């Protein structure tokens, strides 16, 4: 009786099942490890160096398939040990040294980790292949002498048959037992009636406190969930904004910053980490510079010789959280704080939406907790799309509040929240994701308004007020969207050719864990955003319950709202139609972008399903629904495997997918049994052990064997760290010049942090003419920012850079220093610093104006000319001044008295007569206001990508080029009108008569 009191057979089975699920990924990945089989050889050497074992697994010998050891001179024979992977070996190659030496080999063999011999090799099995002078057998010892000039002597081990080193049940046991046992024992402890009752009794007062304070409960649950999900960032000095997450900054290799000691990249699973590390990381720095000068951050002079900043649509200016990074000058800790805040917003807002729709606290808290662990975070490790997706639920949260608002003041407050939420998303740092999220979630909100049971008059009034607020928002946001449209019209992008890349419908199970997507691509790289399998349970429950389709109007509205993004994400809308839809046609990555909308809507739908499941937990209503849920789950998995024709593509997938399915089945079964049998231990075991099995891969981890499947953020670094090389370059910058890189040094757009104007950048909207200029001079780093500028390109690149006012160059230190044609080495510090004596000034006057037909013709004018500044216009241009075209005998006067701000460049030139003043900053039609001696003047495109203004007389002329995008003044007036409309509308609604009693929550 005592044993029955303390032990529950169901608890034992559940604990064992979940412990097995926890151990499975480690067990199945044993074939990927290199610590079970080892190649041993006893040897003595006459020289020091490196010895290396290679193996051929069917792809030939290569450095990745090898193991090396340092070689020493030892007085007695020493056993050298080389780790080997598992697999079928076609051949073995042994390189005794990377130099010259004499060696004695004996007892060559392959053993397992416990020393058990698997294969032995005799001296006669070794064959000389390269740089071996002699092989002599003396008993069981082989003496080897390399050639006198050897650098890579090679011996091959003759195999009579392929060697098979495989995993087996013993290895699985050795790996799995250390994980299985503690998990199993934890389950037994949690499931013990005494412990379960004590835990339940302990948590009961907390439950009462939470029920009395639902908003606080959701907020606190979100805090706990985010702290767990991001614990390496909070407690271990890791960072989202670390260059070791996949970027370079000052130096061309790791450590890439002065003072950094991080020599390795984290495994990013081929995630797009560059969007933050190469671009968004530096926007707050440029914005801080503009604001400190009392200007709006409209122009980015630090990148690509100048380009729109606000007009990129991604600058994040206006996002309230962006001011954290602006004040911190883009410091990594400020970015980390922003990521933490938006993840809290995501979890809390989704929990809040479920609460407002269901008034079911348990379902709301479950959604809050599990929404912090979604596969989107594995897909977009540090991408700015984190900000867009994470704040997007605020739109739906505002709509649910608006629908339920029962008084005029509440309506006014929720309308203000709706405007603020849309503003938050629009300025969050992406274009594709942000604008589609706004469209999709506002559409979902309208469907909620129409389908939830409220009176027709109140519905129409609320819809009218929301439409008016939307109109006011569009006007208020005019500077953002209008500057983008203007910049887009005047620029080129990588998305100019319409297209669509959806996700396969047969792989829809991957939307709930991206490990399924990843089995269909090379190297299991990440493919698209995903949810988690716990939320899949809630969604499936709702889908298999016909009663909910009829009675749950909120769930039905969400389901209908999910259909359009689902159709775009999974290719139900043909590409022939997609490419005809404005803006959507240029998204290209429709599978990714529209999945982001589904993330929010489907999470709330899962909350509706969980609400229903929890309400029926104590009844017999679970039986039929639970079976149908599992049947639908089996169908999704079955369709996936049939469609992809895959069994197991990776050892990790075999264990992890099996663990997912075991846990997703065990959780609801255990919960149902716990309530039917009044045994809380089952529920405690299911929640404490089962939930982590469904969520752990979407959590950040400080260290793991599975770092290709979970994110291990890199160490935080100081992006503003100075160095002797940086200080020396700053001393040389006595007038406006640009600094250019060699190799991978000074990675785009890190120069912004240093306030060095640069030639390269990664921004989406860029000058079409500048791109053409770069193409003709082979400046591939303009469009391929990972390109190396190598010394052999200097004869063409340096003349091009001269035109672009690149007077200084930096390169990683090299001993001896490299030579670059046309450059002079100034100093060797942590950087090699060079100067170009032929660099053109930023601005100059000349009295001649040449012509050319094509960009290539202009490049030839530069490359075959005298290396002195000149001005030339394309023959297709009109409204250019009529000046002599011959360059011979031209007058050139460099500008002086420069005054540069974020949006303006002012300088003076001394002219000898009529001519043209050239400013080597990129040309954008109709976007600049130019004055000459205080009087407005027209400007034109000169030297293919830059700006010129006609000068009609001799003398001293002060010239100002000010960036002010076309229609921006009108946009500011529209913004002011929108603010007035919203303010008046808010006051009128606030002061209007009450609309009636509070709407009761939908059940």
Provide the pLDDT for residue 1: 44
Provide the pLDDT for residue 32: 79
Residue 192's CB: how many other CB atoms inside 10 A? 18
Contacts of 1003 (CB under 8 A, 6+ apart): 358, 359
When pLDDT is cut at 50, 70 and 90, the band that residue 455 belongs to is: confident
When pLDDT is cut at 50, 70 and 90, the band that residue 2 belongs to is: very low
Provide the pLDDT for residue 994: 57
Residue 944 CA to residue 877 CA, distance in Å, equals: 10
Statement: residue 161 has pLDDT above 80: yes
Mean pLDDT of 334-346: 98
Residue 822's CB: how many other CB atoms inside 10 A? 17
Residue 358 CA to residue 345 CA, distance in Å, equals: 19
Residue 316's CB: how many other CB atoms inside 10 A? 23
Burial class (CB in 10 A: 0-12, 13-18, 19+), 231: middle
Contacts of 794 (CB under 8 A, 6+ apart): 820, 821, 822, 823
Residue 678 CA to residue 696 CA, distance in Å, equals: 29
Q: pLDDT of 801-827, one tens digit each?
A: 999 999 999 999 999 999 999 999 999
Report how far Cα 250 is from the mean position of its chain's Cα atoms.
Answer: 21
Mean pLDDT of 250-271: 92
For residues 946 and 668, which has the higher predicted lDDT (pLDDT)? Answer: 946
- ω into 255 cis (within 30 of 0): yes
Q: pLDDT of 266-295, one tens digit each?
A: 999 999 999 999 999 999 999 999 999 999
Residue 356 CA to residue 400 CA, distance in Å, equals: 6
Statement: residue 438 has pLDDT above 70: yes
Q: How many CA atoms lie within 13 A of 599 on its CB side?
A: 36
When pLDDT is cut at 50, 70 and 90, the band that residue 907 belongs to is: very high
* Phi and psi, residue 807, nearest 5°: -95, -20
Provide the pLDDT for residue 203: 86
Provide the pLDDT for residue 1001: 41
Provide the pLDDT for residue 316: 97
Q: Are 355 and 364 in contact (CB under 8 A)?
A: yes
Residue 391 CA to residue 338 CA, distance in Å, equals: 11
Statement: residue 637 has pLDDT above 50: yes
Provide the pLDDT for residue 961: 98
Q: pLDDT of 184-206, one tens digit each?
A: 999 999 988 888 888 888 888 88
Q: Are 352 and 218 in contact (CB under 8 A)?
A: yes
Mean pLDDT of 576-585: 94
Query: What's the mean per-residue pLDDT of the chain?
Result: 93
Mean pLDDT of 923-938: 96
Residue 609 CA to residue 75 CA, distance in Å, equals: 73
Contacts of 40 (CB under 8 A, 6+ apart): 79, 80, 81, 82, 107, 108, 109, 110, 111
What is the SS3 assignment for 800?
A: helix
Mean pLDDT of 39-55: 92
Provide the pLDDT for residue 216: 95
Contacts of 115 (CB under 8 A, 6+ apart): none
Statement: residue 174 has pLDDT above 60: yes
Residue 613 CA to residue 649 CA, distance in Å, equals: 35
Spell out a b/e string for 898-931, using b for 16 or more CB atoms within 10 Å of the CB, else e: eebbbbbbbbbbebeebbbbbbbbbbbeebbebe
Statement: residue 4 has pLDDT above 60: no
Mean pLDDT of 892-905: 97
* Phi and psi, residue 695, nearest 5°: -115, -15
What is the SS3 assignment for 179?
A: helix
Mean pLDDT of 90-100: 93
Mean pLDDT of 657-679: 87
Residue 853 CA to residue 234 CA, distance in Å, equals: 58
Which strands make up the sheet holding 806-812, listed edge to edge?
Answer: 738-741, 806-812, 831-835, 824-828
Provide the pLDDT for residue 625: 82
Q: Tokens 């630090």 belong to which residue?
A: 302
Statement: residue 299 has pLDDT above 50: yes
When pLDDT is cut at 50, 70 and 90, the band that residue 621 belongs to is: low
Task: Find, among 930, 924, 938, the residue nearest to 905 by Cα.
Answer: 930
Residue 523 CA to residue 501 CA, distance in Å, equals: 20
Burial class (CB in 10 A: 0-12, 13-18, 19+), 169: exposed
When pLDDT is cut at 50, 70 and 90, the band that residue 846 belongs to is: very high
Q: What percent of the chain has a predicted confidence (pLDDT) above 70? A: 97
Provide the pLDDT for residue 647: 54
Burial class (CB in 10 A: 0-12, 13-18, 19+), 281: buried
For residues 278 and 618, which has the higher predicted lDDT (pLDDT)? Answer: 278
Residue 920 CA to residue 925 CA, distance in Å, equals: 15
When pLDDT is cut at 50, 70 and 90, the band that residue 998 belongs to is: very low
Contacts of 3 (CB under 8 A, 6+ apart): none
Q: Tokens 């897909």 belong to which residue?
A: 379
Burial class (CB in 10 A: 0-12, 13-18, 19+), 487: buried
Provide the pLDDT for residue 201: 87
Statement: residue 663 has pLDDT above 70: yes
Provide the pLDDT for residue 499: 94
Report how far Cα 404 is from the mean position of its chain's Cα atoms.
Answer: 37
Q: What percent of the chain has a predicted confidence (pLDDT) above 90? A: 81
Task: Find, among 323, 371, 302, the residue nearest to 343 by Cα.
Answer: 371
DSSP assignment letter at 160: S
Statement: residue 884 has pLDDT above 90: yes
Residue 410 CA to residue 404 CA, distance in Å, equals: 9
Burial class (CB in 10 A: 0-12, 13-18, 19+), 191: buried
* Phi and psi, residue 824, nearest 5°: -115, 130
Q: Are 830 and 255 in contact (CB under 8 A)?
A: no
């Amino acid at each position: 009786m005592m044993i029955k009191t303390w032990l529950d057979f169901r608890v034992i089975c559940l604990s064992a099942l979940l412990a097995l699920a926890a151990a499975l990924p480690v067990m199945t990945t044993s074939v990927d490890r290199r610590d079970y089989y080892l190649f041993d050889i006893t040897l003595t050497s006459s020289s020091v160096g490196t010895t290396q074992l290679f193996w051929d697994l069917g792809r030939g010998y290569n450095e990745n398939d090898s193991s090396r050891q340092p070689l020493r001179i030892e007085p007695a024979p020493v056993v050298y040990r080389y780790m080997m992977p598992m697999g079928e070996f076609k051949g073995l190659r042994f390189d005794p040294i990377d130099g010259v030496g004499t060696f004695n080999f004996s007892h060559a063999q392959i053993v397992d980790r416990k020393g058990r011999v698997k294969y032995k090799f005799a001296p006669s099995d070794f064959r000389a292949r390269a740089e071996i002078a002699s092989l002599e057998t003396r008993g069981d010892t082989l003496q080897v002498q390399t050639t006198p000039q050897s650098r890579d002597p090679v011996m091959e081990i003759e195999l009579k048959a392929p060697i098979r080193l495989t995993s087996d049940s013993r290895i699985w046991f050795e790996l799995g037992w250390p994980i299985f046992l503690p998990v199993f024992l934890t389950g037994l402890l949690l499931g013990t009636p005494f412990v379960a009752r004590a835990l339940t009794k302990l948590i009961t007062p907390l439950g009462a406190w939470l029920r009395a304070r639902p908003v606080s409960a959701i907020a606190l649950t979100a805090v706990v969930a985010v702290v767990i999900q991001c614990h390496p960032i909070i407690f271990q000095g890791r960072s989202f904004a670390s260059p070791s997450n996949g970027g370079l900054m000052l130096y061309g290799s790791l450590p890439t910053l002065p003072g950094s000691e991080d020599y390795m990249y984290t495994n990013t699973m081929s995630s797009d980490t560059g969007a933050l590390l190469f671009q968004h990381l530096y926007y707050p720095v440029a914005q801080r510079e503009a604001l400190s000068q009392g200007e709006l951050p409209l122009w980015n002079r630090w990148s690509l010789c100048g380009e729109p900043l606000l007009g990129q649509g991604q600058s994040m200016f206006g996002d309230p959280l962006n001011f954290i990074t602006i004040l911190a000058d883009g410091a990594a800790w400020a970015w980390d704080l922003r990521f933490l805040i938006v993840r809290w917003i995501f979890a809390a807002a989704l929990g809040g939406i479920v609460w407002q729709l269901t008034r079911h606290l348990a379902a709301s808290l479950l959604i809050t907790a599990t929404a912090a662990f979604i596969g989107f975070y594995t897909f977009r490790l540090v991408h700015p799309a984190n900000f867009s997706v994470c704040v997007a639920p605020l739109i739906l949260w505002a709509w649910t509040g608006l629908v339920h608002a029962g008084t005029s003041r509440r309506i006014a407050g929720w309308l203000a929240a709706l405007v603020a939420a849309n503003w938050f998303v629009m300025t969050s740092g992406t274009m594709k994701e942000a604008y589609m999220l706004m469209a999709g979630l506002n559409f979902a909100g309208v469907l909620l308004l129409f389908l939830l049971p409220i009176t027709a008059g109140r519905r129409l009034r609320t819809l009218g007020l929301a439409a008016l607020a939307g109109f006011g928002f569009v006007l208020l946001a005019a500077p953002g969207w209008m500057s983008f449209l203007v910049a887009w019209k005047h620029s080129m992008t990588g998305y100019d050719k319409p297209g669509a890349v959806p996700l396969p419908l047969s792989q829809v199970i991957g939307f709930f864990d991206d490990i399924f997507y990843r089995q269909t691509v090379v190297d299991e790289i990440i493919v698209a955003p995903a949810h988690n399998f716990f939320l899949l349970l809630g969604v499936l429950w709702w889908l298999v319950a016909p009663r909910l389709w009829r009675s749950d109007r909120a769930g039905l509205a969400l389901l209908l709202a999910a259909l359009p993004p689902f159709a775009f994400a999974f290719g139900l809308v043909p590409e022939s139609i997609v490419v005809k839809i404005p803006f959507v046609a240029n998204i290209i990555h429709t599978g990714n972008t529209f999945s982001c909308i589904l993330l929010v809507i489907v999470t709330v739908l899962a909350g509706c399903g969980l609400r229903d499941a929890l309400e029926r937990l104590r009844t017999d209503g679970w039986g039929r629904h639970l079976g149908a849920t599992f049947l639908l789950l089996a169908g999704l998995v079955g369709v996936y495997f049939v469609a992809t024709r895959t069994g197991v593509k990776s050892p990790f997938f075999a264990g992890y997918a099996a663990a997912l399915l075991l846990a997703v089945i065990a959780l609801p079964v255990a919960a149902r049994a716990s309530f039917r049998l009044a045994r809380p231990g089952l529920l405690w075991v299911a929640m404490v052990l089962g939930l982590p099995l469904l969520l752990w891969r979407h959590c950040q981890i400080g260290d793991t064997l599975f770092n290709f499947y979970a994110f291990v953020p890199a160490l935080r670094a100081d992006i503003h760290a100075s160095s002797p090389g940086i200080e020396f370059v700053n001393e040389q910058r006595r007038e406006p010049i640009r600094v250019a890189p060699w190799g991978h040094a000074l990675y785009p757009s890190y120069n912004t942090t240093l306030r060095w104007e640069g030639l390269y950048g990664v921004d989406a909207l860029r000058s079409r003419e500048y791109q053409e200029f770069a193409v003709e001079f082979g400046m591939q780093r303009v469009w391929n920012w990972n390109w190396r500028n190598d010394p052999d390109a200097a004869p063409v690149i340096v003349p091009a850079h001269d035109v672009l006012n690149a007077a200084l160059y930096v390169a990683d230190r090299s001993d001896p220093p490299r030579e670059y044609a046309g450059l002079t080495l100034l100093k060797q510090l942590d950087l090699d610093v060079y100067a170009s004596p032929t660099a053109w000034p930023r601005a100059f006057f000349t009295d001649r104006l040449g012509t050319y037909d094509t960009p290539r013709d202009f490049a030839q004018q530069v490359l075959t000319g005298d290396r002195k500044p000149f001005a030339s216009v394309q023959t297709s241009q009109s409204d250019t001044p009529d000046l002599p075209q011959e360059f011979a005998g031209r007058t050139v006067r460099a500008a002086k008295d420069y005054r540069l701000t974020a949006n303006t460049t002012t300088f003076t030139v001394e002219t000898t007569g009529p001519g043209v003043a050239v400013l080597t900053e990129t040309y954008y039609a109709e976007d600049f206001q130019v004055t000459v001696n205080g009087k407005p003047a027209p400007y034109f495109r000169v030297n293919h990508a830059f700006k010129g203004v006609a000068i009609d007389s001799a003398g001293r002329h002060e010239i100002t080029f000010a960036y002010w995008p076309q229609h921006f003044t009108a946009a500011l007036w529209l913004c002011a009108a929108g603010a007035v409309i919203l303010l008046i509308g808010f006051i009128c609604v606030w002061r209007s008569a009450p609309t009636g009693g509070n709407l009761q929550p939908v059940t």
